[in-house]
A and B are shown apart, each in its own frame.
Chain A
C-alpha cells in the first residue's frame, strides 16, 4: 500500500510541485516512521494494558479474583494518567524516556510516551470489552471446576476477542494522532514533517500532503480492524 501511494504521490509532485522532488521520499520515510511508532506503541500498550484490564475486571466485587483495594488503586492510577493532556505527558515523560532509550528525541524515543498514554486507555477499552461477557459463561466455567487462569484464557479473552480487535483499531488510530503531536517535539514521522516544513517554513503543500496521508492511514487501520473483527464474528455464525 505504501508503494502504491508513493507512486501516486510521485506523479502528483511531478505535475504540481516542480523541483520539490525530495518530497516523495521524505513523505514516504515519514509515513514509515509514523506507522512504525504507531505499531510498536500499540503493541506495547496492549502488552501492558491487557493484563491491567484483566486485573481491573477480575478484581471487582463478586468476580473471580475479587480484591477491592487493588481494584481501586489501579483504577485511580489509570484515571490519573488518562486525565493528563498528552502534550503534558510527553514533557513529563522526558526523563523516563531518556532512562529507557537513552534519548528523548526521535522515533524510538516517541514510543515511550505514546505507550504510556495508550496503556490506561487500552486498559479501560479492554475492560469494557471483558465486561460485556455474560456472567453466566463464567459461572458455567466455574461449575465445571475451571481455575481462574482457565477462565481468563478460555472464556474471557476468546469471548471478548471481536470487541478487543475493534479496540485495537481505535487505539492505533488515536496513536496516529498522538504520534503527530509527538512529532512537534522532534518525535519524527509525519508530525515532524508537517510541523517543520508545512508550518515553520510555510510549505502549505507539504502540510496538506501529510494530512492526506494521515487520512489514508487512519482509514486503512479502521478497515483492517473492521475486517479482522468481522472475520471472527462471521466464523462464529
Chain B
C-alpha cells in the first residue's frame, strides 16, 4: 500500500544542516496497522509527514497505492490527500466550527453536494459515538471526544490510508485505550491501512500488527510486533519494551540490609526476561542446581498475546561463590541480570 524507498530528509543547508531521515525504506501492507516508534527527535514525525507530502523529501520516493506521491502536481496531490486521512496529537479542530461542521470540512474541500455530505457526517458521528455532540463547539469537548471528532473528520472522504500523528499522546491511559480500540474497529470494519507514530510502546503493543523502530533518523528494526517483543534485535527495541514494564523497585526493598560474607551472603538482583525463556522454569532449576535460596521480592509481568515479558527482583542467599555461579547460569539461559546491591551496601 505504501512503499517508502531511500527516503532522506535534510532540513536547512550549509552549517545548519540537520538530517531528519537517512535512507529510510519501509513497506506498509494494505489493511494493516503499522506502528513507527521512536523517541522525540528520532524523525518519526517527519517520516509520517512525508507520506502525504506535508514535508517534501530531500531524496527518495514514496508510493501510495501505486502513485508516486513526489511526482504529483499540486492538484493531483490535493486529490490524493483527500484519500489519506490524518489525525493529530493536538486534534487540530477548527474552533470556529461545530463538531458537525468540523466533520463537514473535508467534504466541503472535496466539493461533495450538501445533502450527501450531511448524511455522511451523521453516519460518521454515529460511528465515533458523538451523535449527541453534533451542534457543540470543540471547546466543550474532552480530549478523547476531540480525537473522535478528528477521526470522524479524517474518515470523511473514505480514505485508503489513515495517518496517526501521536494521536493518543495527549490523552490519559484509559482514553488512549478507547481511541486505540476505535482505530482497531475502523481498521477491521473498513479495511483501512493505518500508519501511526508514537513514543509509547503500549500503543504498539495494544494496536499494531507490525512495527518499525526508528532511532537517530534511521529505521533500526522492522517486524511483527510479536516477533519484536519476543526477540528484540536492537538495544533501542529492548529499551522500548522495558519502558512499559514497571522497573521501579519499592524503596523498602532497597533499604534492607544485605550480608556480604560467609555462607549466608545475599545479593539483590533484577532479572529481565522477554519471550520464550520466561516460560521455562529457569529460577527453579537454578535453585536445584546450586545451593542458593531465592527469595522473590518484587515482580512485574505483562503479556502480549501469549508472550510474557517483564522483570523479577530476587534476593539470592548462599555462599558468595555459589551465588556468582548461579548468576552465570542465569546469564547463560539468556536472561538479563542486573545486580542491584554491591559489596558494602
CB-CB under 8 A from A134, the residues of chain B are 90, 92
CB-CB under 8 A from A143, the residues of chain B are 52, 54, 81, 84-86, 163
- Would you call B97 and A158 a contact (CB within 8 A)? yes
CB-CB under 8 A from B106, the residues of chain A are 144-145
Tell yes or no: A155 within 8 A of B by CB.
yes
Tell yes or no: B140 within 8 A of A by CB.
yes
- Would you call B92 and A140 a contact (CB within 8 A)? yes
CB-CB under 8 A from B96, the residues of chain A are 158-159, 161, 236
Encode contact with A along B65-88: 1 for CB under 8 Å, 0 otherwise. 000000000000111111011101
Say how far B253's CB is from chain A's closest CB, in angstroms: 45
Tell yes or no: A237 within 8 A of B by CB.
yes
Complex Cα spacing A118 to B67, Å: 50
Encode contact with B along A140-179: 1 for CB under 8 Å, 0 otherwise. 1111111100100011001101000000000000000000
Contact A137 B94, CB 8 Å, known A142-B81, A145-B79: yes
Say how far A144's CB is from chain B's closest CB, in angstroms: 4
- Would you call A235 and B78 a contact (CB within 8 A)? no
- Would you call B81 and A140 a contact (CB within 8 A)? no
Complex Cα spacing A134 to B78, Å: 21
Say how far A8's CB is from chain B's closest CB, in angstroms: 41
Tell yes or no: B95 within 8 A of A by CB.
yes
Say how far A73's CB is from chain B's closest CB, in angstroms: 24
- Would you call A146 and B139 a contact (CB within 8 A)? no
- Would you call B109 and A150 a contact (CB within 8 A)? yes
- Would you call B88 and A147 a contact (CB within 8 A)? no
Tell yes or no: A136 within 8 A of B by CB.
yes
**Contact among A144, A161, A235 for B109, CB-based, below 8 A:** A144
Complex Cα spacing A235 to B90, Å: 22
Which range contains the number of B residues in contact with the other chain?
Answer: 20 to 34
Contact A145 B109, CB 8 Å, known A158-B97, A235-B137: yes
Complex Cα spacing A160 to B79, Å: 27
CB-CB under 8 A from B336, the residues of chain A are none
Contact A159 B95, CB 8 Å, known A145-B109, A146-B109, A237-B140: yes
Nearest CB in chain A to that of B107: its residue: A144
CB-CB under 8 A from A150, the residues of chain B are 108-109
Tell yes or no: B105 within 8 A of A by CB.
yes
CB-CB under 8 A from A161, the residues of chain B are 96
Tell yes or no: A226 within 8 A of B by CB.
no
CB-CB under 8 A from A158, the residues of chain B are 94, 96-97
CB-CB under 8 A from A136, the residues of chain B are 88, 90, 92
Tell yes or no: A21 within 8 A of B by CB.
no
Name the residue among B85, B86, B163 with the largest chain A CB count within 10 angstroms: B86
Contact A154 B105, CB 8 Å, known A139-B54, A143-B86, A144-B81: yes
Complex Cα spacing A187 to B73, Å: 54
Q: Which of B103-160 contact A (CB under 8 A)?
A: 105-106, 108-110, 137, 139-140, 153, 157
Complex Cα spacing A235 to B138, Å: 11
- Would you call A139 and B110 a contact (CB within 8 A)? no
Complex Cα spacing A140 to B103, Å: 12
Complex Cα spacing A144 to B81, Å: 6
CB-CB under 8 A from A141, the residues of chain B are 105, 109
Say how far A134's CB is from chain B's closest CB, in angstroms: 7
Nearest CB in chain B to that of A146: its residue: B109
Say how far A161's CB is from chain B's closest CB, in angstroms: 7
Name the residue among B54, B81, B92 with the largest chain A CB count within 10 angstroms: B92
**Contact among B80, B84, B92, B139 for A139, CB-based, below 8 A:** B92
Complex Cα spacing A155 to B54, Å: 17
Listed in ascending order, the chain B residues whose CB lies under 8 Å from chain A are 52, 54, 77-82, 84-86, 88, 90, 92, 94-97, 105-106, 108-110, 137, 139-140, 153, 157, 163
- CB-CB nearest 8 A-B residue pairs: A145-B81, A158-B96, A140-B92, A145-B78, A143-B86, A145-B82, A136-B92, A144-B106
A-B contact pairs, 8 of them (CB 8 A): A134-B92, A139-B92, A143-B54, A143-B86, A145-B78, A145-B81, A146-B109, A235-B137
